[in-house]
Structure 1
Amino acid sequence: MRMKMSKQLINNTTNYIILFLLLISFRGKAQPAQNDTIPVLPDREKKYEQFYDSLEYKAKQSKLISLIYDFLVSPPRPYVDKEALALEYYSQFEGKLISDITITPLEVFGPTFEDTTRTAKSFIEKTANSLHSKSNLNTIEKLLLFEIGDFLDPDLIYENERIIRSLPYIQDIKLLIEQDSIYTGLVSVHVLTKDRFSLGVSGGVDGGEAAALEIYNQNIFGVGHEISFSFVGNLNREPYTGLETFYKINNIRGKFIDISAGYMNTYKREGFSFIIDKPFITPSIKWGYGGSALRMYRTNRIFDDDPIKTAIPMDLSFKSAWIGRSFQIKPDDYQNSQVVLSAAFYNRTYFQRPIPAPENNQYFSNNTFYLAGITFTQRRFIQDQLVYSYGVTEDIPEGFKNEIVYGFDANEFGNRHYAHLYLSNGNLLVNRKGYLYLAGGIGGYFKNEDYEQGQIQGSVNFISRQVNAGRKRFRLFVRANYLLGLRRFEIENLSLSRNSHIRGFSSRKAVGKQRLSMDLEYVLFLRRQFYKFNIALYGFADVGIIGSNKHLIFNENYYSGLGFGVRLHNENLVFKTFQLRLAFYPFPPSDMSFTGFIVEEQYKKNFYSFQPEAPRALSFE
């Protein structure tokens, strides 16, 4: 009996050793670097397939070996350029006359682009479909960049897909081209859209004394309008209950002009806002413009994302307007550079404010800020999946945006000049095996030949290619940011408390005029779903250095955060991503604990953008 057990142990050990050696020997062959330039012969491909089939069969004989195999082994998968495939498909019909356009919006649950006849099965899905208002045909038609009588342009069709897919209430879109069976010079365009369930609910609790509940609809009545109501309460501050409401009209008359208005009356603030915006949504748009008006009767922040919070409520008004003109280097070429000349003004008037201290007076000053800029930009988009979303097509920008901005600050405490240079570029990786974005800028104000409120900044954002390990799919995200303040006001301080630096870090003591942060995140996308919600597991390691701007950054205070979590998201819904996270903070500041656990909602991250915008000063936050 003992001899049989020993023999079995030896055999098992031998199997483990053999498999381990195979993994080492053939891991390089699974995804050889030369595949990018040297094609693999069909016979060799067959041998690879036979080898991996055999290896997988042997691995599945043991649960432990099977687990190792799923995580480490991935058969060779050729890179698929989805943009090239889409353009190749549309190019078959280039120059043909569009004779007919049909639009078919699909139900949220049930049908797919591959099988439009599928129907919802569960009671919840059927109920959701009945409550949802499908996108109005006229709403989709106004989003089309082409019409009957136009000659089909592949680049225009591809760009139109991206624009519609970027809408918050659209999950995906597919454009099918059908050639007329009699007149070969005519084609019909079939537009298939898949909506998201547009009604959503959000909320949270702040410190046990305040809470908020938001109800919103991002495609009300199917016409593409957005509306939201936030009910906000506080146990200790008046008004104890309050309301914030916003309404937005998108793409007025098919001109890609958006208008939004809001009213707020809570313990945080009271006032109203109005915004109009016509962005450079495509490179072919010649004119972009916009404006805003903000009237706050009571607020402790000038803007929602302002890092400065005042103890005395402020009463102020803010007005702005901008206009820009785009010049194509090569007209009608969607992948060519453009030059944009733009101008803007920003006016801020206080009716009640903190008493301006001499060292901070221009931070709370009545002023009108005039800006002019010149932007050199190029943008194009490639398609991928499982980056910031969960299985739907994502349009990832690449290109560059370099801008020079000059400004004049007509300020009650002394006029100032302003200038900055900002450079950004991505994607810099060869053969698109990942995504790399670099940016850097320098700028500041000049007053009486002195330099103040200046800054130098740089950032790196890397996203690895999608790695397939058996049934597992994962990516590595790396992000680094550096910001140095030069002669900033005493009231202006950087912190690490935003999730873009050390996630979950909440200390008010870790502040300074100089900051360096690096975030690493490993995300594992699971194929299994939890009640129709896609699941992603992630682990992270964040490091931040912050302190004085008078010394080298590496001599300042170090902080870190380590942890893991899970994200749940359903691409059929407009709901935010649900996130559960457990973090550990080694050597935390005195106003923080060693551990932190949080259940929260998370907005979907946006890709870096090379879209020309209104000229504005660099932000120090």
Structure 2
Amino acid sequence: MDTHTASLIRLGWLAGLWLLMTVSVAVAQEIKIPVPDTKRDTLTLTDSISKGIRDAKQIVRDSVFYVNLKNRMFKRRVTRELHKLLFHDMYNSRIKTGDVNEIEVNPFLPYQGRVINKIYIRRLGVFGPSVYDTLRRPRSWLERTANQLHADTREGVIRRSFLLFEEGDRVSPDTLRDNERLLRNSNVFHDARIIVVPHEGSRGFVDVYVITQDVWSLLPSGSVGGLNRFDLRLEQRNFRGLAHTFTNQVSYNAVDPFQKLEYRGRYIIPYIGKTFFTGQADLVQTRDLKQYAVRFYRPFLTPDTKWAGSIELSHNRFPRYVVFSEDTARLTKLNYNYNDIWAGYAFKPFFSFLGEGDDRTRLVVAARFTRLAFTTRPEVRADTNQLFQNTNATLFSIGLSRRRYVRDVLIYGFGRTEDVPYGSLAALVAGYDNAELGQRKYLGFKYSKAHYLESFGYLYGAVSIGSFLRSKTTVEQGILSLESSYFTPLRTTNWGNWRHFVNFRYTMGAERFANEYLTLSGRDRLGINNDNLRGTKLLLTNFENILFSRLNIVGFRVAFVTFVNLGLVSYQTKRLFQGPLYQGYGLAFRLRNENLTFNSFQIRISWYPNIPQNSQPFRPAFEGVPTARFRDFDISAPEIIPFR
């Protein structure tokens, strides 16, 4: 048996083992999403009374603690003003969040099939009210002034581009829930809520109220290193209330020998008309990248979306592209044109998959064509720089997707409603690549699954395996990837609410090209940038504890974070577990205002005891933290499993 066949067998064996474990756990535990029992039997009544007693005790503990603290701080003028600045009366999060931290039945079910008579749009100010308390007022003149300066999303834009239903349609509970999620997931709205009320004088008609709250859309940022060096960035995520995103960034460095002035620009038009296509244009003129790109795309926004697809055209030029290998790094020039188009169709299957068939399950078929044509590159041969060969890939996929969502709070956000996906996805990808160095076939498989239990937490697992095949026994650019993530239920203490997060990732490459690599470097990996943390096999585990405190500094909520990052990485010529265990430990103070488009900010202190060529083990940092996103279970374009 040759090494190529052995590599393929090892990949298949590991993937099969991971898949068997994932499915076995799901079948053995029969984890289902619990929903409240609507029947008021004795057991339900007893549970409700017990829960009410627990909540009442928590309210008393929280109230006594913060009332005593308030009394002590109000004895002096300075501490009294400090208390007003830092604290608001938020003794119990369950009262504040209402039904959003419960896994509940669909509230629109009682109105299923009724005709929508009128749709009313209610737009709230950025600061002050919320979709669960529309009468709340801004707390200061600063918030009132900001509300006056902000241009709310136009009512016509909401009706035309963000609603999945119209007047005269019959109420579909799933459509209304999906529409709430669609509004919340856009970068225009902080939160959204849909309310259905019976139309006065009629049993067959209802009125629908759509309540939205924008985020503060203007985001300036930058840095100044003197008169001869600065970086300015201005992003408007709701240009003139049209929901368009317009981003401009200008950088200047008078001593840069290659290019003194740099520019990045992007314009995005979401959900054009009722087509739900999004248009995007990019212009980049920096010292290391020149890019012109345009893209139109429509994803499978909901399980009821039948058609999806995209088209993308771009020209890219890298004057100084860094090519890494196992022990070297060199600069080269790259120019290439990239063309990509795909389309997919989703429909209800006539069978169930692993016992999960229901009205939210969709069978998706899709096709994709991608062309990569280089005009400037290093010399390409059968054993050198294969990564830069011209390619014309055609891929086909068939997959089964089942996805649902529940609402919760204080996961990745600091109080906004979050839609947590659960379900499963299985997709098979096959195709061929008419590459410059010869035609090759591609075969890949992906499977992922997630469960969410109020008493257990959220558990997600995924396996991906794929490879090009030059012949029946010759593997090229193979990959096996295993991922898992977990977070605990929300726990309440006197100081706030906390969760634990655990993330695991294992990636192994087989017969990868010489200039392909994985890395532990980066904020979302080990937490430190270092060119020595490279290889073709990677194992990474992240542990994070977050305490969402009750501190509120000028509208910014404060969270206290501790983390541990552990990683292994090696090239194909070495065993993964024979290398050093790279480590990172630290704590951070994270601040975020959910009404702003700003990233979270954090002050972080980290310790990296054994990173190679690292002269500073202790590292303080003040940085922005992008909001993390859940892995969803929608099937998109057929893709070659990325090596990352």
Q: Give TM-score scaled by structure 2 length.
A: 0.81
Deviation at 1:401, TM superposition (A): 1.1
Q: Select which of 246, 250, 269 maps to 1:231.
A: 250
Deviation at 1:310, TM superposition (A): 6.3
AA of the residue aligned to 2:204: G
Q: Which residue of 1 aligns with 2:126?
A: 108
Q: Distance in 2 between matches of 1:125 and 1:286?
A: 42
1:304-324 superposed Cα distances (whole Å, 9 cap, x missing partner): xxxx99612311111100011
Q: Which residue of 2 aligns with 1:426?
A: 450
1:254-310 superposed Cα distances (whole Å, 9 cap, x missing partner): 22100100111111211211011011101111111101111124454599xxxx996
Q: Distance in 2 between matches of 1:97 and 1:49?
A: 39
Q: Is contact 2:446-2:462 (8 Å) kept? A: yes
Going from structure 1 to structure 2, the CA distance change for 1:406 and 1:179 (only over 3 Å counts) comes to same
Q: Which residue of 2 aligns with 1:611?
A: 634
Q: Which residue of 1 aligns with 2:198?
A: 179
Q: Which residue of 2 aligns with 1:325?
A: 345
Matches within 5 A, 1:56-75: none
Q: Distance in 2 between matches of 1:241 and 1:453?
A: 39
Matches within 5 A, 1:130-169: 130-142=148-160, 143-169=162-188
Deviation at 1:379, TM superposition (A): 0.5
Q: Which residue of 2 aligns with 1:522?
A: 545
Q: Distance in 1 between matches of 2:201 and 2:397?
A: 53
Q: Is contact 2:61-2:494 (8 Å) kept? A: no
Q: Which moved more, 1:533-542 or 1:549-558?
A: 549-558
Deviation at 1:127, TM superposition (A): 2.6
Q: Is contact 1:509-1:591 (8 Å) kept? A: no
Q: Is contact 2:337-2:373 (8 Å) kept? A: yes
Q: Distance in 2 between matches of 1:269 and 1:56?
A: 54
Q: Which residue of 1 aligns with 2:107?
A: 89
For residue 250 of structure 1, give the secondary structure of its aligned residue in structure 2. Answer: strand
Q: Which residue of 2 aligns with 1:11?
A: none
For residue 156 of structure 1, give the secondary structure of its aligned residue in structure 2. Answer: helix
Q: Is contact 2:251-2:262 (8 Å) kept? A: yes
Q: Which residue of 2 aligns with 1:295?
A: 315
Deviation at 1:356, TM superposition (A): 2.9
AA of the residue aligned to 2:558: I
AA of the residue aligned to 2:332: I
Q: Is contact 2:289-2:319 (8 Å) kept? A: yes
Q: Distance in 2 between matches of 1:88 and 1:451?
A: 48
Q: Which residue of 2 aligns with 1:341?
A: 365
1:391-415 superposed Cα distances (whole Å, 9 cap, x missing partner): 0100011111111111211111222
Q: Is contact 2:382-2:437 (8 Å) kept? A: no
Indicate yes or no: 2:402 matched with 1:381: no
Q: Which residue of 1 aligns with 2:427?
A: 403
Instruction: Give the paired residue count.
Output: 570
Q: Is contact 2:322-2:332 (8 Å) kept? A: no
Q: Distance in 2 between matches of 1:432 and 1:472?
A: 19
Q: Which moved more, 1:387-396 or 1:262-271?
A: 262-271
Q: Select which of 538, 545, 563 maps to 1:540.
A: 563
Q: Is contact 1:542-1:560 (8 Å) kept? A: yes
Q: Which residue of 2 aligns with 1:512?
A: 535
1:468-493 superposed Cα distances (whole Å, 9 cap, x missing partner): 12342001010010011111111112
Q: Which residue of 2 aligns with 1:194?
A: 213
Indicate yes or no: 2:521 matched with 1:497: yes
Q: Is contact 2:565-2:585 (8 Å) kept? A: yes
Q: Distance in 2 between matches of 1:558 and 1:162?
A: 41
Deviation at 1:500, TM superposition (A): 2.7
Q: Is contact 1:508-1:591 (8 Å) kept? A: no
Indicate yes or no: 2:600 matched with 1:577: yes
Q: Which residue of 2 aligns with 1:248?
A: 268
AA of the residue aligned to 2:262: G
Q: Which moved more, 1:442-451 or 1:119-128?
A: 119-128
Going from structure 1 to structure 2, the CA distance change for 1:135 and 1:330 (only over 3 Å counts) comes to farther
Q: Is contact 1:335-1:380 (8 Å) kept? A: no
For residue 251 of structure 1, give the secondary structure of its aligned residue in structure 2. Answer: strand
Q: Distance in 2 between matches of 1:124 and 1:57?
A: 29
Deviation at 1:94, TM superposition (A): 2.1
Deviation at 1:213, TM superposition (A): 2.7
Deviation at 1:370, TM superposition (A): 1.1
For residue 577 of structure 2, give the secondary structure of its aligned residue in structure 1. Answer: helix
Q: Which residue of 2 aligns with 1:128?
A: 146
Q: Is contact 2:321-2:332 (8 Å) kept? A: no
AA of the residue aligned to 1:109: F
Matches within 5 A, 1:1-40: 40=46
Q: Is contact 1:204-1:600 (8 Å) kept? A: no
Q: Is contact 2:219-2:234 (8 Å) kept? A: yes
For residue 541 of structure 2, give the secondary structure of its aligned residue in structure 1. Answer: strand
Q: Distance in 2 between matches of 1:501 and 1:242?
A: 28
AA of the residue aligned to 1:219: N
Going from structure 1 to structure 2, the CA distance change for 1:424 and 1:363 (only over 3 Å counts) comes to same
Deviation at 1:87, TM superposition (A): 4.5
For residue 378 of structure 2, give the secondary structure of its aligned residue in structure 1. Answer: coil
Q: Select which of 372, 383, 392 maps to 2:396.
A: 372
For residue 284 of structure 2, give the secondary structure of its aligned residue in structure 1. Answer: strand
Q: Distance in 1 between matches of 2:55 and 2:412?
A: 31
Q: Distance in 1 between matches of 2:63 and 2:420?
A: 38
Q: Is contact 2:339-2:372 (8 Å) kept? A: yes
Going from structure 1 to structure 2, the CA distance change for 1:379 and 1:240 (only over 3 Å counts) comes to same
Q: Distance in 2 between matches of 1:534 and 1:50?
A: 25
Q: Is contact 1:335-1:379 (8 Å) kept? A: no
Going from structure 1 to structure 2, the CA distance change for 1:458 and 1:204 (only over 3 Å counts) comes to farther
Deviation at 1:48, TM superposition (A): 6.2
Q: Which residue of 2 aligns with 1:265?
A: 285
AA of the residue aligned to 1:485: G
Q: Is contact 2:583-2:608 (8 Å) kept? A: yes
Going from structure 1 to structure 2, the CA distance change for 1:55 and 1:86 (only over 3 Å counts) comes to closer
Structure with higher RCO (Cα < 8 A, 6+ apart): 2
Q: Distance in 1 between matches of 2:548 and 2:242?
A: 34
Q: Which residue of 2 aligns with 1:351?
A: 375
For residue 312 of structure 1, give the secondary structure of its aligned residue in structure 2. Answer: strand
Going from structure 1 to structure 2, the CA distance change for 1:501 and 1:211 (only over 3 Å counts) comes to farther
Q: Select which of 293, 299, 312 maps to 2:332.
A: 312
For residue 260 of structure 1, give the secondary structure of its aligned residue in structure 2. Answer: strand
Q: Distance in 1 between matches of 2:560 and 2:393?
A: 46
Deviation at 1:51, TM superposition (A): 7.6
Q: Which runs of 5+ in 1 are unaligned?
A: 1-35, 64-73
For residue 170 of structure 2, give the secondary structure of its aligned residue in structure 1. Answer: coil
Q: Give TM-score scaled by structure 1 length.
A: 0.84
Going from structure 1 to structure 2, the CA distance change for 1:616 and 1:360 (only over 3 Å counts) comes to farther
Deviation at 1:54, TM superposition (A): 9.1
Q: Which residue of 2 aligns with 1:221?
A: 240
